[in-house]
Amino acid sequence: GIVPTDQDVLAKNYFFTKELEEGDFVMITNVGAYCLTFSNRFPYLLPEISLIEDGKITQIFNPLVHHDFSLK
């Protein structure tokens, strides 16, 4: 369909240059409609959102703490 869902597969058997561990960040670029705006969030919490700037990772939204997703 035209709406991205959690059942879609972006890549199979993808080779990462290092082994991933729980808590690692994976950044996927050029995903088109696979963004928060088009995501189906009905049965799910909003995801955590992190900002990566100058090599520093800062969490800017945590759905367990923040209850309003509007910009301030």
pLDDT tens by residue, 16-67: 888 999 988 888 777 777 777 777 667 777 788 888 899 999 999 888 887 6
pTM attached to this predicted model: 0.53
Q: State how far the Cα of 32 lies from the Cα of 63, in Å rounded to an integer.
A: 23
pLDDT tens by residue, 33-47: 777 777 766 777 778
Query: Phi, psi (5° rounding) for residue 38?
Result: -95, 0
